[in-house]
Structure 1
Amino acid sequence: MGINVDTPPASSRRQAHWEKSSSIRSRPRRVLRGWSPDEHFYPIARQPIALHALVTAKGHDARQRVLLQSLYKFLNDIAFVETRVVNEVALAIANDRLPWPFPADLRADVLTVLIDEGYHAYVAIDFMEQVRRLTGVDPLTLPPTLAIEQAIANALVKLPAELHPALRTIAVCIAENSVTKELIDVHREEGLNETFHAVNSDHMVDEVRHCLIFADVLRHLWSVLTTDQRRAIGVILPDFLGDYLNLSLQKQFDMKILATIGLSAAEIETVIAATHLEQDLATYRNVNPIVDKVVTFLRNCGVLDDQVIRATFAEKQLI
Structure 2
Amino acid sequence: MESETTPPAAARPLDRWYEAAGVRSGVRRRFHEETEQGRVFFPAALVPYLAHEGLRGLPPERVRELTIRHLYQFLLSTAHLETRVVNSGAERIANGRAGVDLPFADRIDAYKVYCDEGYHSLYSLDLADQIAAVTRVPVPDWDYGGFVARLAEAGRALLPGEPVLAQLLQVVVFETLITAVLNELPNDTTVVTAVRDVTRDHARDEGQHHRFFSAFFHRLWAGLDTSLRARVAHALPPMVHACLTWDTAPVRSSLLLAGVAEPTADAVLRDCYGAAAVQRVHDMGRATVHMCESAGVLDVPGAREAFASHGLVREGA
| Pairwise TM-score range, normalised by the shorter structure | 0.7 to 0.9
Q: Secondary structure at the match of 2:49?
A: helix
In the alignment, which residue of structure 2 is the partner of 1:302?
Answer: 296
What are the within-5 Å matches in structure 2 for residues 200-279 of structure 1? 200-247=199-246, 249-250=247-248, 252-278=249-275
Q: Secondary structure at the match of 1:289?
A: helix
- What stretches of structure 2 of length at least 5 have no aligned partner? none
Distance 2:105 2:92 in 1: 15
Distance 2:281 2:105 in 1: 39
| Conservation of the 8 A alpha-carbon contact between 1:69 and 1:257 | yes
Deviations 1:33-92 (A, max 9, x none): 334354322222111322234434323211110011111111110011111111111111
Match status 1:133 vs 2:133? yes
Deviations 1:162-187 (A, max 9, x none): x2211211111111010455410335
Match status 1:284 vs 2:285? no
The CA deviation at 1:5 is: 5.3
Stretch of structure 1 that moved more, 25-34 or 142-151: 142-151
| Conservation of the 8 A alpha-carbon contact between 2:47 and 2:67 | yes
Alpha-carbon RMSD across the aligned residues, in angstroms, is: 2.6
In the alignment, which residue of structure 2 is the partner of 1:157?
Answer: 157
Distance 1:54 1:311 in 2: 37
Distance 1:106 1:139 in 2: 37
Residue 111 of structure 1 aligns to which amino acid in structure 2? Y
| Conservation of the 8 A alpha-carbon contact between 1:176 and 1:211 | yes
Q: Secondary structure at the match of 1:51?
A: coil
Residue 17 of structure 1 aligns to which amino acid in structure 2? R
TM-score if structure 1 supplies the norm length? 0.87
Deviations 1:12-32 (A, max 9, x none): xx4442233211122211111
In the alignment, which residue of structure 1 is the partner of 2:87?
Answer: 87
The CA deviation at 1:105 is: 1.8
Residue 125 of structure 2 aligns to which amino acid in structure 1? I
Match status 1:177 vs 2:171? no
Q: Secondary structure at the match of 1:49?
A: coil
Change (3 A) 1:153 1:277: closer
Percent identity, aligned pairs only, is: 24
Stretch of structure 1 that moved more, 132-141 or 117-126: 132-141
| Conservation of the 8 A alpha-carbon contact between 1:85 and 1:149 | no
What are the within-5 Å matches in structure 2 for residues 96-111 of structure 1? 96-111=96-111
Stretch of structure 1 that moved more, 66-75 or 173-182: 173-182
Residue 75 of structure 2 aligns to which amino acid in structure 1? L
Distance 1:164 1:138 in 2: 37
Distance 1:297 1:49 in 2: 31
